Structure 1
Amino acid sequence: MTATGASEGVGARGAPVSGPWWWARRRSAVLDVGLAAASTVECVFEGARFADGAQLPQLVGVLLGLLVGPVLLLRRRRPVVVVLVSIAVTPAVMGGLLSTVGLYTLAASDVPRRITALLASMTAAGTLVTTFLSLRQDVAAQEDFQPPGWLIPAMSLALGLVLTAPPVLWGLYVGARRRLVESLRERADGLERELSLLADRAEERAEWARNEERTRIAREMHDVVAHRVSLMVVHAAALQAVALKDPEKASKNAGLVGDMGRQALTELREMLGVLRTADAAAARGDVVSGAPERLAAVASRAGATVRARPSEPFAGEGVGEAPEEAGEPVTVAGEADSEGPHLAELADLVGQSRAAGMVVELSVDGVAEGEPAGRRYAPPVERTVYRVVQEALTNVHKHAPGARARVRLAHREGELAVQVENGPCEGGAADAGLPSGGNGLVGMRERVTALGGVFVSGPTDAGGFRVSAVLPAPAEAA
C-alpha cells in the first residue's frame, strides 16, 4: 500500500506494474528511500545526543542511529516491525519520524485493528513516559522555575497524543478509502464482465432471431404461393391435354389458371412490399410503424399464422429451441383475424382441387343441425386447419396425381381434428414433376404445435399417405 492508500501491485486501471524488490512502483521506492534517509539522519543526531547524556561514546549513538533509521524501508512490507523498533528506541528519545510514519502505515494497512490499537497505545505510553521524565529533569535543573504540579503531566499527555493520534487517524481514513476504491473497482470489473456476457448473449439471440425470421419468411412464402402455383401447373397440364379435343373445357381451365395466377401474384406482391419497406427502413436506421402488423395482415389473408415477435419459438423439425428469455408469442389481432381464411372456406378449397381433376371427398362430423359451417373457433385455429388441408391437397397434386383423397373434419368437445388421406396413384400415374423443397410437412407441424396441438403424418398400409392434426379449440360464440 502506498502513502496515499492506493493498493500495491496494480496500476491506475488495475494493470499490474513492477518495481524494485517489494515496491510496486518506482516512485514508492523513491519515497521510502527518502523517508529512510531522513529518519537515519534524525536518529544519528538524536543517538549522539543520547550518548552524551548517558555518558557513552558518541560512536555508540551514531551506530544506533544508523541501525534504527533505515528500518523505515520496511514500512510497506513489515509495518509492525517498524512500530516495534520505534517503541524500543523511545527511551533513547529518538525515532520521531520513524514512529510517526510507522503508525500511519500500520493504521492504513490490513493489519487487524486490535493489533494497531495495542501498538498505538504502547507508543503513546512510551512517548508520555519519556516526555514526562525529560520535562521533570529539565525543570529540576532550573531552580528559579517551579511550575504547578499538573503542568508537566498535562504537557506530557498532550505531546503523546499529538505524536500518536494524528498519524493513526489519518492512516485509518486512508486505509478505509483504499478498501472502498478496491471494492468499487471489483464491482466495476464485475459489471464489465457481466455486460460483456450480456452483449455476447444478445448477439447470439440476434443471430437466432435472424435465422428464425428467415425460416418464417420462407414458410409464409411457401404457404402463400405453393398451393396456387401447384394448381396452376395441374390446370395447365389439363389445358394442354384438352386444348384440341374440347375447346370449351380448355377455355374454362385457362380462366382458372389466370385467376389463380393473379391471386398468387397479388399475395406475393403485398408480402414482398411489406418486406421491402422494412428493409429500406432498416437501412436508414428508422422504425416503420405498423410493419409487423402489415406483414401479419398480408399473411393472414393468405391463411398464415404470423407472430408479432421474431423471437417466437416454433416446435418443429429443423427449428432450433428458443432461448429462455424468448417472450410469449403475441398474435396480431383485429383486421388480420377477420380477413384470414376460416372453416367455411374449406368447401371452396376442396372445389378448387376437384376442378383440377382430383376426386376429393369432404366430410364434417359433429356439426349441429342448422349449422352448415360448424361452430366458430378462434381465427388462428381455423386458419391453421385451413392451411393443413391446403398443404395436404397440394402434396397430393404434386406426388400422387390421380389419387383419390378424403378430407375429414371433426368437431369435438374442446378440440378440433382434421385428417387428409389419399390413396395410391391410380393407373400407376407418375409424379407430377412439381418442385418440392421438403418444407410442407415441417410447416404444418410448426403451425399445429405452436397452438399446442398434435400433428402426425406418414404413409398408410394401402400405399397412400395420411396427415392428421388435433388442436385444442374451445368453441366461441358466433
Structure 2
Amino acid sequence: MTSTGEEQGRAGPPLWWARRRDVVVDVALAGVSAAECAWEGIRFADEAGIPVPLGVLFGVVVGATLVLRRRWPIAVVLVGIAVAPAEVGFLLSVVGMYTLASSEVPRRIIAALASMSLVATFIVMYLKTRGDVEADPGLVVALSGFVAVALTVPPMLLGLYIGARRRLMESLQERADSLERELSLLADRAEERAEWARTEERTRIAREMHDVVAHRVSLMVVHAAALEAVAVKDPARAAKNAALVGDMGRQALTELREMLGVLRAAPAKAAVAPAAAVGAAVGAAVVQVAAASVAAGVDEGPSLEELEALVGQSRAAGMAVEMVVQGAGPAGGAVYSAEVEQTAYRVVQEALTNCHKHAPGARVVVRLAHREGEVAMQVENGPCEGKADGVGLPSGGNGLVGMRERVLGLGGVFVSGPTDAGGFRVSAVLPVR
C-alpha cells in the first residue's frame, strides 16, 4: 500500500492535499472552471473592446485559481467577487463559497465574504436585468435578489453542514482513539493488579504452609528423637511418643488437606464473577480468588481457645512452657474477629516452633493479655541449655518475617529480639477492630 507521503510526492507541488483523490478532484474542477471562464472571456472581450485572446487568457487564469481552493479559500472567493462585474466565474464563485464555508475559517469572515458575494451578485444581476428587459422595477429587484441568494446561500449552507460534519467525525475519531488508549492503560493496570494479587496469594499460601507444617513437623522430629532415645530403655514412654508422633502427623495432614481444599475451591468461586471488561475481569478474578482463599482459610483457621492445646503439645514434647493469661477476654462480651484470633494463634505457634528449633531445653513463658481495644501476646524463652537429645531442626529464616507480615497486615505492632538474660522474645499487639 502506498503511503500518503509517497502519494504527495508523485502529485508534485503544491503539496497541500491530504489525498491523491483530492488532487484529481481539484485539478478537474479547475479545468472545467478555466474552460467556462475562457468561454465567458470571449464575450467579455467583445464588450470591453479588448483582443479576444487576451479575454480568453484572462478567463483561463481566473478559472484556474479554483485549484487553490483548499489552500487559500478566502483568496478564491475574493477572486470570484472581483470578477463578478465581468460576468465571469460562475463555477468559481459557487465552489469557492462552498469550500470557504466548509473550511476552518472563522464564522465572522465567512459571513462577511458571503455578504460581499451576495451584494456583488445582486448588483451585477440588477444592472444586467434592468438593461436587457423592460420590466417592473420591483420584479427586477426580486429577480436579482433571488439569483443572488440562489448563487450564494445554498453553497454556503452546504459548506457549513459538511464542515460541521467533518469536525464531528474528527472529534468522534479522537474520542475513539482516546478511549482505546484508556482501555489499553486500564488493561495494563488490571494486569499489574492481577500480578500483585497473584504475588500476594503466593505469599499468603507460603506463610500458611510454613505455619502449619513447620510447627507440626518440628514437634514430630522432637518426639521421634525422644522415641529413638528411649526405645530400648523405656518401652512405655517410647509407645507414648510414637502415639504423639502419629497424632501430630494426622493433624498436619488434616490441616494440609483443608488448605489444599481451599485452593481447589477458590477458582470455582471466582469463575462465577461476571466478565464485563477483559482487563478489569482479569484483576477482579484473581482478587476474588485471593479473597475467597483468605476468607475460607480464616473461617476454618485456629482460634485463641486452642492455645492451651497448642502449649500442651509443646509440653508433651518435653518443653517447659508456662502460659499466663491476663484479662477475661474481649470487653463487653464482644468477640474477636476470626482474622485477629487466627493471627494471634499463628504468632504463638511460630514462636513456640522457633523455641523448639533454636532453644531446646529452655524455659518458655507464653503471655496473653486482653486489653481495651487490643489483644497482646508474648512468647519469651530463657537461655538455651543445649540441644535436647541431639535434635537438630533446620530453619528457613521465614518465621519472623511471616509473623511480622501477619501482624502488620492487621494494623498491629510486632517486635522481636534477644533479651538481656540471653533468651529471645517475640511480642505482638493486635487491634480488636
State TM-score, norm by structure 2: 0.88
Matches within 5 A, 1:135-214: 135-139=129-133, 146-214=134-202
Alpha-carbon deviation of 1:120?
0.9
Alpha-carbon deviation of 1:309?
4.4
Q: Secondary structure at the residue paired with 2:137?
A: coil
Residue 434 of structure 1 aligns to which amino acid in structure 2? L
Matched, 1:266 2:260: no
Match of 1:393 in 2: 352
Match of 1:460 in 2: 419
Alpha-carbon deviation of 1:383?
2.2
Residue 259 of structure 1 aligns to which amino acid in structure 2? D
Matched, 1:47 2:6: no
- CA deviation profile, 1:278-336 (whole Å, cap 9, x unmatched): 56x59xx9559xxxxxxxxxxxxxxxxxx984567xxxxxxxxxxxxxxxx99748x96
Residue 246 of structure 1 aligns to which amino acid in structure 2? D
Residue 336 of structure 2 aligns to which amino acid in structure 1? Y
Do 1:46 and 1:93's aligned partners in 2 also have CA atoms closer than 8 Å?
yes
Match of 1:323 in 2: none
> How many pairs align?
412
| Equivalent residue in structure 1 for 2:123, among 129, 142, 151 | 129
Alpha-carbon deviation of 1:430?
9.6
Q: Secondary structure at the residue paired with 2:325?
A: strand
Q: Secondary structure at the residue paired with 1:150?
A: helix
Do 1:40 and 1:69's aligned partners in 2 also have CA atoms closer than 8 Å?
yes
Match of 2:373 in 1: 414
In structure 2, what is the Cα distance between the partners aligned to 1:39 and 1:136? 27
- CA deviation profile, 1:19-72 (whole Å, cap 9, x unmatched): 232111111111111111111111111111011122222122112112211100
Alpha-carbon deviation of 1:375?
8.3
Are the structure 2 counterparts of residues 340 and 267 from structure 1 closer, same or farther at C-alpha, using a change threshold of 3 Å?
closer
Do 2:361 and 2:387's aligned partners in 1 also have CA atoms closer than 8 Å?
no
Matched, 1:57 2:51: yes
- CA deviation profile, 1:168-191 (whole Å, cap 9, x unmatched): 000000000011011111101100
In structure 2, what is the Cα distance between the partners aligned to 1:71 and 1:112? 22
In structure 1, what is the Cα distance between the partners aligned to 2:194 and 2:287? 16
- CA deviation profile, 1:94-126 (whole Å, cap 9, x unmatched): 001000000000000011111111111111111
In structure 2, what is the Cα distance between the partners aligned to 1:17 and 1:436? 70
Matches within 5 A, 1:213-252: 213-252=201-240
In structure 2, what is the Cα distance between the partners aligned to 1:197 and 1:17? 33
- Percent identity reads 67
Match of 1:69 in 2: 63
Of 269-278 and 148-157, deviating more is 269-278
Residue 185 of structure 1 aligns to which amino acid in structure 2? Q
Unpaired runs of 5+ in structure 1?
1-10, 140-145, 289-306, 313-328
Residue 51 of structure 2 aligns to which amino acid in structure 1? P
State TM-score, norm by structure 1: 0.80
Alpha-carbon deviation of 1:438?
1.9
Residue 45 of structure 1 aligns to which amino acid in structure 2? W
Residue 51 of structure 1 aligns to which amino acid in structure 2? A
Match of 1:445 in 2: 404
Match of 1:256 in 2: 244
Matched, 1:343 2:309: no
In structure 2, what is the Cα distance between the partners aligned to 1:82 and 1:352? 100
Alpha-carbon deviation of 1:417?
1.1
Are the structure 2 counterparts of residues 202 and 258 from structure 1 closer, same or farther at C-alpha, using a change threshold of 3 Å?
same
Are the structure 2 counterparts of residues 242 and 429 from structure 1 closer, same or farther at C-alpha, using a change threshold of 3 Å?
closer
Residue 117 of structure 2 aligns to which amino acid in structure 1? T
Do 1:400 and 1:432's aligned partners in 2 also have CA atoms closer than 8 Å?
no
Computed over aligned residues only, the root mean square deviation of the Cα atoms, in angstroms, reads 2.7
Match of 2:90 in 1: 96
Of 410-419 and 184-193, deviating more is 410-419
Are the structure 2 counterparts of residues 397 and 308 from structure 1 closer, same or farther at C-alpha, using a change threshold of 3 Å?
farther
User: Greater share of helix residues, 1 or 2?
Assistant: 2
